Chain A
């Protein structure tokens, strides 16, 4: 036996595979991605009876055709990495459908162990298995387990070691495809064998070719084979009346139902399970939507109210850390390193980590909804609406999360199997006005609009985001992401009580990915943005000028308070001058002509550059360009300055532009990561900015023309 056994876990979605993986490997896990695709690759290690094992949790799939990236990944791993044992986790309470994957694993001729998971649930449903008969039928050892109660794990591992030690290969049961299909299979397999194929078993490849598997087809390009395939397909269809795919799937299910008829007994007739009863309420025609809306509201409320104090602590922590680092230098020091560390790195990274509590809580809520089985109902309930805008019911959750933060929203698109749906959802998610844009609205709305218009204004902004997202989704679906209409063939798994461990693991894995991957890019962009707002530094003469002003004030015989006020004014004027002189300021001034038609000046332009770091930075940057020092969204001085300099129309245009323009760098980083290509991240960035520009242009020009909100 090898030093280290490689064990792959396969199984259907909702079969409890992940729970068993967690039970087996505990905390010794590693999460990554398969190269080239955004399919999670989870591995863990364990030692049992002195045997080291590396356990790979393959993506949950219903089958092993090339329907989704997950299926291709799972299949290729088994074929190319040749794990010592493949353990198929089977939901025993949903046996027939789960065995469909099992049969395909048998056809791959790999050493197998079947785990009949959730055997307690199967028992409660009155199902009794004759395991001995089933073992003979399939030629695969079978173990029963209850993953959620951690039962049967040692038995699984015992069996894995037994199978790995066996010297002769397992003799699996064979599906009888009928002589029509078998005959064609032999012919095609013979042709493949002659071609000197080594990667795949010829008969298996022949089966896949008859099943019209795109991935395998693309690897066996020969005109003779193509012609033979066509001939074989036609012959099968004329003989059986079914196309090969139907005949093959039918034969597999026939094989399965034969086994079940002989070896599975239903002792009691359970017409209605608890899960069915829950669904009669939750998916009810009348109650379904109110319950759904109530739950969503609850999730949101909880996420943001519970998250708030933690956010405060993190802010305080970074404030404190900044202060400590600041303390290493004498007061008023001009050290570049100090500025880089405190303003650039600590400020920038802190500004992103501050969202971690919200993100973790949202992921916690999502994990509970997913593990309980409710998420599938959300998709079921919302599909009609989402289908109207060319998306899938499952797209609803990511878009909803987008109102909190685009980063977890984009990560939540992982639940979408179809790449086209996933990309569209990912691209439009940042148009849902996120929490970080709120400070901008909170600053601007009261500055320009009377109290009575505050709430409607905020509402309008949110609605504009939603409408533009819908239009963009439709437009994307009809143009560059045109694809075949996506079917809605979705399992509605039975409701299950989520386990604490499972939910926390889920939450932590996603939270950690956010921290780790987004963190590195954010660190980089923070430094670049810091440099842009810092360099080139003001000349010595300019500095000396401000310094002499300060000294003049200090030397005068004004009262101490007035002196302080003057000093602050001078400090603020110096910061303004420095920012204006910096690259960001210069860029702001350089792009001013382009921003003019939107009603913006270079000051707003500079603040918009800062907003790329994080949307709420816009407020702080406006504070600097208007020399009011440290400003937040409650700053009345800044509001007064804005009112003095801009019209309500411009105020509205600022909000509109901030809502729709380039998403923040964290979103950019996560889109790049989740789409698997920087191309899409740039597409999103440029696309959104162009849309923002055009809309703001129209609003400003029309407003000016019609004299709406232009009074100064």
Chain B
């Protein structure tokens, strides 16, 4: 059973294995740099618990947990 980005705690890092989205969203996720092999650091969750803030390729990006759950990762 693989883990997803959603399971990563703030302060931890992970490497993207694959992203499973449909259509336009998939393209956008790729364009924003969440390509297989890239390293993501989880920074924090929003005050209400969702979305989450990530650091990737040196910049900050936010994603909802539901979206993060579609990104398979491995801990590094």
Contact = CB atoms under 8 A, between A and B. Distances in A.
Report whether chain A binds chain B: yes
B38 to A, nearest CB: 7
A67 B46 contact: no
A381 B28 contact: no
Interface string B44-72: 11111111010001111111100100000
A62 B50 CA distance: 24
Contacts of B36: 242, 246, 250
Interface of A is mostly: helix
B32 to A, nearest CB: 6
Contact of B49 (A63, A95, A384): A384
Interface stretch (A180-188, A487-495, A591-599, A673-681): A487-495
Contacts of B53: 279, 283, 380, 492
B57 A96 contact: yes
A385 interface: yes
B27 interface: yes
Q: Could you say which interface size class chain A belongs to?
A: 35 or more
Contact of B47 (A242, A250, A253, A289): A289
- Using C-beta atoms within 8 Å of the partner chain, give the interface range for chain B: 35 or more
Contacts of B46: 283, 288, 380-381, 383-384
Contact of A253 (B25, B35, B59): B35
Candidate in B33, B58, B60 with the most chain A CB atoms within 10 angstroms: B60
Contacts of A289: 47-48
B63 A67 contact: no
Most B CB contacts (10 A, CB to CB) among A211, A284, A383 go to A383
Contacts of A376: 62
Contacts of B3: none
A179 interface: no
Interface in A70-102: 93-97, 100
Contacts of B49: 384
A212 B27 CA distance: 9
Interface of A: 62-63, 65, 67, 93-97, 100, 211-212, 214, 242-243, 245-246, 249-250, 253, 276, 279-280, 283-286, 288-289, 376, 380-381, 383-385, 387, 393, 484, 487-494
Given A94-B57, A253-B35, A491-B60, 10 more contacts: A65-B27, A97-B57, A249-B27, A284-B47, A383-B46, A387-B64, A487-B64, A488-B51, A490-B61, A492-B61
30 contacts: A62-B31, A62-B32, A65-B31, A67-B27, A94-B58, A95-B58, A100-B33, A242-B36, A245-B27, A246-B30, A249-B27, A250-B30, A250-B35, A276-B43, A279-B60, A283-B53, A380-B46, A380-B53, A381-B47, A383-B48, A384-B48, A384-B50, A385-B48, A387-B50, A484-B25, A487-B28, A487-B67, A491-B59, A492-B53, A493-B60
